[in-house]
Chain A
Amino acid sequence: GQQVMQIPQYQHVQEGEDFTTYCNSSTTLSNIQWYKQRPGGHPVFLIQLVKSGEVKKQKRLTFQFGEAKKNSSLHITATQTTDVGTYFCAGRIGSNYQLIWGAGTKLIIKP
């Protein structure tokens, strides 16, 4: 079936370092969403990207949607302890009501 591949599975960073997670789809996406799930919690919506080449920023977070609408990335600058959690991308194909979820990237801050 259709899949959205997300890498890496884990990323260990020192507080203050940057973090990036990537999502790739073999199929063109109509839009892509990003969610954050804190440990023990539920996914919380961060943003939706719709346009080819779109870049959106939320404070230290930068989201990109590729020109071909098949890949996306989330970059966090100068990580803080509050950024800890798992970041998921979820893509939509056409007008399908389903989201296709990546496996998530877990951000771990080294002590």
Chain B
Amino acid sequence: DGGITQSPKYLFRKEGQNVTLSCEQNLNHDAMYWYRQDPGQGLRLIYYSQIVNDFQKGDIAEGYSVSREKKESFPLTVTSAQKNPTAFYLCASRPGGGLAGAGEQFFGPGTRLTVL
């Protein structure tokens, strides 16, 4: 089956610890995105990558880091510098090409991170 996987579904960490969230896609999509969703709010963009070995900061990149060493993988590290990391994290991908930026985004099931 083609799709996007995120693991784990639930993650608990102690304050001050870095944690890495996994995102893998086998859709052969060029672009990948990380969003943060807080209760009752829309999606806020953390980082995005249009191509391997390239990524750009989104609106709320502070306290987060990413890498894009492979087309299929776009892991997100939540560092201890992130002031309020408890949230629902969503990874998405989109095919490249065509009208720049157009086309649907496909989302993974998300990881719910709780920092104790």
Q: Does A85 contact B (CB under 8 A)?
A: no
A1-B59, A95-B100, A97-B31 known; A9 vs B108 contact (CB < 8 Å): no
List A residues 4-34 near B (Cβ within 8 Å). 6, 9, 30-31, 33
Instruction: Identify whether the interface residues of B are mostly helix, strand, loop, or mixed.
Output: loop
Docked complex: B19-46 residues within 8 A CB-CB of A: 31, 40-45
A42 touches B101 (CB 8 A): no
Select which of B42, B100, B108 is within 8 A of A103 by beta carbon: B42
Query: How many residues of B sit at the interface, in one of the four size bands?
Result: 20 to 34
Taking a contact as CB atoms under 8 Å apart, the answer to whether B108 and A42 are in contact is: yes
Across the interface, which residues of A come within 8 angstroms of B105, CB to CB? 33, 43, 45, 99
A contact residues, total (Cβ < 8 Å)? 27
User: In the complex, A94→B99 CA distance in Å?
Assistant: 10
Contact residue among B41, B100, B108 (Cβ-Cβ distance under 8 Å from A97)? B100
Question: Which A68-109 residues sit within 8 Å CB-CB of chain B?
Answer: 88, 90, 92, 94-99, 101-104, 106
Q: Is B43's CB under 8 angstroms from A101's CB?
A: yes
Interface flags for B63-105 (1: CB within 8 Å of A; 0: not) read 0000000000000000000000000001000000001111111
How far does the Cβ of B11 sit from chain A's closest Cβ, in whole Å?
Answer: 16
B interface residue numbers (CB < 8 A to A): 31, 40-45, 48, 50, 56, 58-59, 90, 99-110
Extra pairs beyond A99-B105, A102-B42 (17, CB < 8 Å): A6-B42, A30-B102, A31-B102, A33-B104, A42-B109, A44-B107, A45-B105, A48-B102, A48-B104, A50-B102, A95-B99, A95-B101, A98-B48, A99-B45, A101-B44, A103-B40, A104-B42
Which A residues lie at the B interface, using CB under 8 A?
Answer: 1, 6, 9, 30-31, 33, 41-45, 48, 50, 88, 90, 92, 94-99, 101-104, 106
